Structure 1
């Protein structure tokens, strides 16, 4: 029996890097979906909906494949209905990091795995919490210049220099903060008879 075809429904380089940790064959197909909020009341709802839609969009085109969708939404403590997106500009990144300074930021990271031919669909949300230390404008500007985190929710990359911005990090799985909860993904793939490791 042939091994199922695996597809990562994402254009994110970070998610590709996370998938590469598993040493399994997979393809990447970027889903063309509208990622804007549509009346989502909580960061969990938005992340879950987008992860589901990404996986569903590709799974309908490749019904034999196991399709992996993921999405992440950041939000500040006490405001899960105000979503922190990707800054895209230096000015917006400065504003985001100034707003994050000395605050707790939560990351709702959703994972959705589909295989249309078997009817398999599993979607979940994992959380990670980061406490930012008090950041000066000089530190913020220097960090953005060095790391260019303009396509990262919250304006930082925890897997590199972004770690210097934090006072504390907590959660079950650090890859949740990076954009895809890999412990949960491994559990799901094993349940679908994908050998890991």
Structure 2
């Protein structure tokens, strides 16, 4: 007798390859739909508030289109110690990446990473913010230039890829879940998906 119950579709509201790689760890069937939202700040005075709003909006936009699906939205905002109101965006150019890493040298950089899981048909919505911080070692200009050339972190807040050569830039990594630094807190995601009766593992 077949007791399998049809599982809702899972949609990752993102086009990020890093988030896709994180999702692939779970062995779940899912698809990606990129949310088209304006990610500009709207007067937020703390990185937590901006990350939380953007994660919620990403999931909401896709959930409106696919109300029966379980939709996952995530966003990350980086900021230097003592300045949670000054948001560190994606550098987009080599010049900006070099400047950002020069400013990060010998400083703590914090990451506010928000996750929003929504299923409109069941009125389920759970949005959280997790934190992680890294201490950059003192970096020479030559080291920074070599790093940017090799890793091309132009679409990464903070101008590094911790899953790649970016690990060489740090003195310390501090937090409960390293995937928070990578852009989606997977320990929390697994806990939320279990609330939705998904088997993980």
For normalisation by structure 2, the TM-score amounts to 0.97
Matches within 5 A, 1:1-150: 1-150=5-154
Look up the SS of the partner of 1:94 in the other structure.
Answer: helix
Aligned with 2:166 (options 162, 181, 196): 162
Partner Cα separation in structure 2 for residue 153 and residue 61 of structure 1: 28
How large is the RMSD of aligned CA atoms in angstroms? 0.4
Partner Cα separation in structure 1 for residue 88 and residue 39 of structure 2: 13
Look up the SS of the partner of 1:188 in the other structure.
Answer: helix
Q: Give structure 1 stretches of 5+ with no counterpart.
A: none
Aligned with 2:185 (options 181, 187, 192): 181
**Offset, 1:73:** 0.2
Partner Cα separation in structure 2 for residue 145 and residue 60 of structure 1: 40
Tell me the matched-pair count: 197
CA deviations on 1:9-43 (whole Å, 9 max, x unpaired) are: 00100000000000000010000100011111100
**Offset, 1:75:** 0.1
Q: Give structure 2 stretches of 5+ with no counterpart.
A: none
CA deviations on 1:29-86 (whole Å, 9 max, x unpaired) are: 0001000111111000000000000000000110100000000000000000000010
CA deviations on 1:149-182 (whole Å, 9 max, x unpaired) are: 0000000000110000000001010000000000
**Offset, 1:110:** 0.1
Partner Cα separation in structure 2 for residue 35 and residue 12 of structure 1: 15
**Offset, 1:148:** 0.4
Look up the SS of the partner of 2:57 in the other structure.
Answer: helix
Look up the SS of the partner of 1:72 in the other structure.
Answer: strand
Partner Cα separation in structure 1 for residue 12 and residue 61 of structure 2: 12
